[in-house]
Amino acid sequence: MAQQLQQAIEDKSARIGIIGLGYVGLPLISAFVSSGFRTMGFDVDQEKVDMLTAGKSYIKHIDSAAVASWIREGQLEPTTDMSRLSEADCLLICVPTPLSDSRDPDLKYVTLTAEAIAKVLRPGQLVILESTTYPTTTRDVLLPILSQSGLKSGEDFFLAYSPEREDPGNPDYSAAGIPKVVGGTDETSCKLAEALYGHAIVKVIPVASPEVAEACKILENTYRAVNIAMVNELKMLFDRMGIDVWDVVEAAKTKPFGFQAFYPGPGLGGHCIPIDPFYLTWLARKQGLSTRFIELAGEVNSSMPSYVISRVADFLNEVGKPVKGSKICLLGMAYKKDVDDPRESPSFVLMDMLRERGAELTYNDPHIPKLPKMRHHNVPDLTSQDLTPEFIAAQDCILIATDHSAYDYDEIVKHAKLVVDTRNATKNVSTMREKIRKA
């Protein structure tokens, strides 16, 4: 079985099935199609499948013309029919792994996908989990479900873990251009996964086990979360001392060794950094240990929206206005610059807090024309407002939550009464800086 699959991978006759056609799955399809493979795309969202079938992309950095070409040339077949999972030789699982309300890992999408695969799993298939999760998931959760098929791992089918690595909005790193870590539940599985990714990814790094690969992903994102928390905490301290933390970071990063720049913000967003460290704290509790350092970082980062709103209240108070009844426009609902991804965006937390305080709220985001529904937020029915001089001048406060490149910050400051900047987006605005406040 392994030799046949290895040969199919080498001559690119193997068909690749991507399960979950979101911000990870669709770029992966692009990488495999570009390297000469035929792909199938599986998703339970009929709207996504219909859009792809029509040759339309729903992700900003994936061009619709490319999708149309994949469909036209038979390089991608999207479907919601999970009974067709057996048609793919290699199955890559890219489904969400959120946290529950109690901040425990919620693996229901992984387990449901595994159960769907187990129903149709055939000899000679390779299954790779890419969804971010805690160490032992592949071996202790995925493997037992797949084994219910009656097939034996390492002989009849093959199983590995390779954590997704995406940096949306960064033109320097496509899915194909970011090295891939791979760990198999056995040596054969690891070699097959390494061979598969070797065709589509710039570099593949095999590791000793899926547990190492799973822990690698958690380490990467916990490292960022902890360092961002440190800078966020320093921002609050330096602000009280009248020191601009952005100037401090710019000065510190001139050191050519021993320092990496991290930047403060209104909170953490995206699927990874706000969530992944809590997988680790949950796992530690199961082992009878505590991860105080990580939990403290989570507390600091989670407190940043409250800090921002308190500063907005202070700045409005300076001009004799309460938050209640003030017209406040949020700039940027995406979780990071120049992307259309709203997942875990702190902008929605800011929106909730401002609405609770009675603000008359509007927003603008050139990448999110209408607010989407969000699991943990009561999202109002709002559309992005045009940033005309008249609109800006009518607002009591412009709150910059996401520093999109499309914004003309000079014009915004020129017409605004007050600008509260959480991203240092106005650093190059040279006039009327008396209107700008940092938060």
Mean pLDDT value across the chain? 94
47 burial class (0-12, 13-18, 19+ CB within 10 angstroms)? exposed
The residue-averaged pLDDT of 6-22 equals 97
Name which of 6-20, 181-195, 260-274, 299-313 the model is least confident about. 260-274
Does the 2-208 domain belong in CATH 3.40.50.12710? no
Overall average pLDDT of the 411-415 stretch: 97
Which of 379, 378, 374, 401 is CA-nearest to residue 98? 374
Specify the pLDDT at position 177.
Answer: 86
User: Which of the residue ranges 77-91, 336-350, 392-406 would you say has the lowest mean pLDDT?
Assistant: 336-350
pLDDT value of residue 105? 85
d(CA 145, CA 212): 21
- pLDDT for 169 equals 67
- CA 241: distance to chain centroid? 34
Q: 203: burial class by Cβ within 10 Å (0-12, 13-18, 19+)?
A: exposed
Phi/psi of residue 95, nearest 5 degrees: -95, 160
- The confidence score (pLDDT) of residue 343 equals 86
Helix (H) and strand (E) counts in the chain: 15, 13
Whether 275 has a pLDDT exceeding 80, the answer reads no
pLDDT at 271: 65
**What is the model's pLDDT at position 344?**
86
Identify the pLDDT of residue 364: 98
Q: d(Cα 193, Cα 418) in Å, to the nearest integer?
A: 54
Q: Which CATH superfamily is 225-438 part of?
A: NAD(P)-binding Rossmann-like Domain (3.40.50.720)
Range with the lowest mean pLDDT among 16-20, 178-182, 293-297? 293-297
Beta bridge partners of 437: 420
Higher-confidence position of 94 and 170: 94
Residue 17: φ, ψ to 5°: -105, 125
CATH 3.40.50.720 domain extents, the chain: 2-208, 225-438
- State yes or no: pLDDT of 264 exceeds 80: yes
Q: What mean pLDDT is predicted for residues 326-337?
A: 96
pTM of the model: 0.90
pLDDT exceeds 70 at position 207: yes
61 band by pLDDT with thresholds 50, 70 and 90: confident
Tokens of residue 194, six digits: 């390494």
Residues marked active site are found at 272
pLDDT at residue 201, as a whole number:
94
DSSP string, 75-100: SEEEE--GGGGGG-SEEEE-----B-
- 3-state SS assignment for residue 159: strand
How many whole angstroms from its chain centre is CA 306?
22
CA–CA dist 299, 26 (Å, integer): 33
Compute the average pLDDT of residues 384-407: 98
Looking at residue 60, its pLDDT comes to 85
Q: Taken in order 67, 73, 75, 80, is the CA torsion positive or negative?
A: positive
Q: State residue 237 phi and psi, 5-degree precision.
A: -65, -50
Contacts of residue 386, defined as CB under 8 A and 6 or more positions apart, other chains included, come to 364
Q: What is the pLDDT of residue 98?
A: 85
Residue 171 has pLDDT above 80, yes or no: no
Comparing C-alpha atoms, which of 195, 202, 194, 199 is closest to residue 176?
Answer: 202
Task: Report how far residue 350's alpha carbon sits from residue 251's, in angstroms, rounded to the nearest whole number.
Answer: 30
Task: Give per-residue pLDDT as tens, 107-148.
Answer: 999 999 999 999 999 999 999 999 999 999 999 999 999 999
What strand order describes the sheet that includes 327-331? 360-364, 327-331, 397-400, 419-421, 436-438
